[in-house]
A and B are shown apart, each in its own frame.
Chain A
Amino acid sequence: MNSKNEPLFNIVRRDDMNRRKAWCIRGLAIVIALLLCAVITMVVTGDNPISVYASMINGAFGSARKSWVTFQNLAILLIISLALTPAFRMRFWNCGGEGQVLIGGLAAAACMINLNDKLPNWLLIIVMTLASISVGALWAFIPAICKAKWNTNETLSTLMMNYIATQLVAYYVVCWESPKGSGKIGIINQNSNIGWFPELGNKYLLSIVIAIVITVFLYLYIYYSKHGYEICVVGESENTARYVGINVEKVIVRTMILSGALCGVAGLLLVAGINHTITTTIAGGQGFTAIMVSWLAKFNPLTMIFTSFLIIFLERGAGEIATVFGLNQSFSDIITGIILFFIIGCEFFINYRILFRKSKKTAVPTVGKEDE
């Protein structure tokens, strides 16, 4: 007599699932999530699913302006995601994108406000760019050097850096507030447009072009450059990296500086290219969203275009649903959350296989129908 029953199934790590099948599973997860979201939206709004989807598409691409905004948002999210990617490939959990973007934006705003009558416009823009990049890099440098020297937990230190940046911005917002007592800065140099990035055709295109340039750059950097190779070795095995004479500390610091600098660029674009002001919420949580975007893309810069598109589309689409059906804007956060949960969960079926047992007596394992 068996004292205990055999386990119903056991879980085995899958060695290699081919890429196409893996993406099919991810696609399926997204479809199921979208269906679920449609059901939820139907329950909340009482409308039929087709018009729900229609208004989502309408929200993202309903007009030329809407499409441009979608692509501009996509560009910014993509830049931040790309910025975090080198660090992630090194297994350095840079959760500080938010702070690095903010502080980069703050540097740009500081230059716009304090140097607007001291430098010619072209020089000011160069100074702003350098300032944003270097301050963003500095914000990433601090956790990096602590990690390299004392192995300080980077997830936690970068998180703290975010809020230090937020409060610093809050401080300067009060310092520079205009008009006094309004609690915000307002549009900087609204009349002179000093320090505003020049428009490239229209006011949306510049960010998009920069995003494309950074995507190509990072793709080459990660897969074909010596630095990219070193990052990969350090991420996979620090011991091996030391063994072949890679200076691990240097790679950590250098990669994080790159990561922070690119975040600084995103902050610069937000302030000088798009909003022409600074608030504590200008990064809008994209520093965190970017972590998910980068992870969903398996840290591949090209795939990241699609994952950031997915997130932005959901955000814009759900925002539209909220407007059309008179719901709260936070509805898009819920929709995004649900879809993320599905994508996160489906990775399990890509990495593991479930073996079901047919019967207690023979105990012959059979490959169950996976993936469902």
Chain B
Amino acid sequence: MQKETAISIRGLSKSFGKVKANENIDLDLYKGEILALLGENGSGKTTLMNMLAGIYYPDKGSISVNGRTVNIRSPKDAFELGIGMVHQHFKLVDVLTAAENIILGEEGKLNIKEANEKIKAICDKYGFEVDPSKKIYSMSVSEKQTVEIVKVLYRGADILILDEPTAVLTPQETEKLFQVMRNMKEDGKAIIIITHKLNEVKAISDRVVVLRQGTYIGDIITEMSDEREMTDMMVGRKVVLNIERPLPVSPTPRIIVDKLNIKDVNGIYKIKDVSFEVNSGEILGIAGISGCGQKELLEAIAGLRKVESGSIRYIDEKGDAEELIGLDPRKINDMGVALSFVPEDRLGMGLVGNMDITDNMMLRSFRQGGSPFTDRKGPQELASNVVEELEVVTPGIDTPVRKLSGGNVQKVLVGREIARAPKVLMTAYAVRGLDINSAYTIYDLINNQKKKGVAVMFVGEDLDVLLQISDRILVLCDGMVSGILDGRTAAKNEVGMLMTRLGGKADE
């Protein structure tokens, strides 16, 4: 096959302040191929792609498109070169319709009718379903993504960049997307897909390029490689997940959730009829595709979210039960239910970026004492302890948290929650974006809590981790309990099936 270069990157670098997001990267993309860009969180994949899309301008290096050296100074330049990017966080204007979003940025006279016809033609060709006159704010996540992809196609892009497109899709939707990608490849278009999911890399890509910590590691032909080799390139050394899993010591129920229902602001059920219990001294893993109710469930237990119906009871050591629904989050927290929730942007909830470590430690404890003034001594000690014990890399405890790297931010958060000696510890995505060592530090911390008899709820994305750390695994599918498995005997594909289909059974 004659390989014709679509994009050729040489020596590209980009820094944000002191952080080198990309350093001296070379990369080639050929026409008619699907290239998977693989790397851990924070390895610089999105930054690199953003430079192709004109969002960032490189500090150094050159980009050639179709053999011509170009300067991509703005997204507009990128469009003109036929480069279209579908961002992970959708770039759509909520109050506009699908059609208006799709034609946004085009020149010439506005003709919605004509645009609608063209959109329909694209949809028919690839089997998308888009209502052009529907407003974005009333769309579901997958509908929004469809609009994003149609937008790029509408503009006739030859080079497509998809940033983690499958993270929000169901398996069926993913398969549909892959089919479209294969069709485009047939047309001779070049596609880059960013992902962490190795099975998808295997399924869709022709070639894989791996980035690690902002540098180019190498490329491999997908067919000639396997998941192990890719993982090795991605993380730099062989990872044998060897997470400790002690047997629970005399587990007794600590939290009992019964027939819980939660609706979101649009009145859609996010949690439907969910019942389960969490025992002391055990880790309950919670698995599910992202956005299928994990966040809502944890927030409801922590008292941060309004509940439609059902009950959440907390059983203390003496066996007395208390209903948590309707209690103030502060009260729940004082009872020993700690939530260490790490959301996508990490600092959004739980920490205050502009405050220093001491003041962040104070978030939980500042109300103590009758004085109207805050006491910074205790938090200072706590901050020093956390920094020392969890090996937080920071110039000092008076450094604003936003200046720390992701892993260190997480250590501060988890460290603070654990310092309160909780009875119930809830963590979500505790190791997202962490390097391997930091991740193990967190696993150890959680296991130590378990050994102390704490009931742990562990929401994770990585099935391997969930299968190796949890005593039991609760699988959520679309806000409902799809199944509860024993962590020691459950098979990975079994969990995968439960995540994608309620009850895990194939359609008859």
Contact = CB atoms under 8 A, between A and B. Distances in A.
Given A2-B71, A242-B329, A243-B304, A225 B372 contact: yes
A4 B352 contact: no
Contacts of B77: 4
Interface in A1-17: 1-7, 10, 12-13, 15-16
Which among B343, B364, B373 has the highest number of chain A CB atoms within 10 Å?
B373
A233 B374 contact: no
Size category, A interface: 20 to 34
B352 A233 contact: yes
A237 interface: yes
Interface string A348-372: 0000000000000001110000000
**Dominant secondary structure at the B interface:** loop
Nearest to A223: B374
A232 B400 CA distance: 14
B70 A3 contact: yes
Contact of B328 (A3, A220, A245): A245
A371 to B, nearest CB: 18
A152 interface: no
Contact of A233 (B59, B331, B363): B363
Contact of B349 (A2, A243, A364): A243
B333 interface: yes
Q: From B331, B349, B359, name the one whose CB has the most chain A CB atoms within 10 angstroms.
A: B349
Given A3-B68, A236-B355, A245-B329, A229 B362 contact: yes
Nearest to B11: A363
Contacts of A3: 68, 70-71
Interface in B41-91: 57-62, 68-71, 73, 77
B17 A15 contact: yes
Interface string B355-385: 1000100111011000011100000000000
B374 A6 contact: no
B328 A2 contact: no
Given A243-B350, A244-B363, A5 B71 contact: yes
A365 B59 contact: yes
A156 to B, nearest CB: 18
B351 interface: yes
Interface string B299-340: 000111000000000000000000000001111010000010
A240 interface: yes
Nearest to A355: B59
B353 interface: yes
B329 A4 contact: no
Nearest to A239: B349
A243 B341 contact: yes
Contacts of B341: 243
A245 B333 contact: yes
Interface string A221-241: 000111111101100110110
B352 A236 contact: yes
Contact of A229 (B68, B339, B374): B374
B339 A243 contact: yes
A227 B347 CA distance: 22
Residue from B330, B341, B372 having most chain A Cβ neighbours under 10 A: B372
Contacts of A7: 57, 73
A236 B354 contact: yes
Contacts of A227: 372
A237 B348 contact: yes
B158 to A, nearest CB: 17
B134 interface: no
A1 B71 CA distance: 11
Contacts of A233: 352, 355, 363
A3 B63 CA distance: 12
Nearest to A233: B352
Contact of B60 (A243, A245, A363): A363
B63 to A, nearest CB: 11
Contacts of A1: 68-69
21 contacts: A1-B69, A2-B69, A2-B70, A2-B71, A4-B73, A6-B73, A10-B57, A15-B17, A16-B403, A220-B373, A224-B373, A228-B374, A230-B366, A233-B363, A236-B354, A237-B353, A240-B352, A244-B333, A245-B328, A363-B58, A363-B62
Interface of B: 16-18, 57-62, 68-71, 73, 77, 302-304, 328-331, 333, 339, 341, 343, 347-355, 359, 362-364, 366-367, 372-374, 403
Q: List the 3 shortest-distance A-B pairs measured between CB atoms, nearest first.
A: A245-B330, A239-B349, A245-B329
Given A15-B403, A365-B59, 13 more contacts: A1-B69, A2-B71, A5-B71, A6-B71, A7-B73, A10-B57, A224-B374, A226-B366, A229-B359, A233-B352, A237-B347, A244-B363, A363-B62
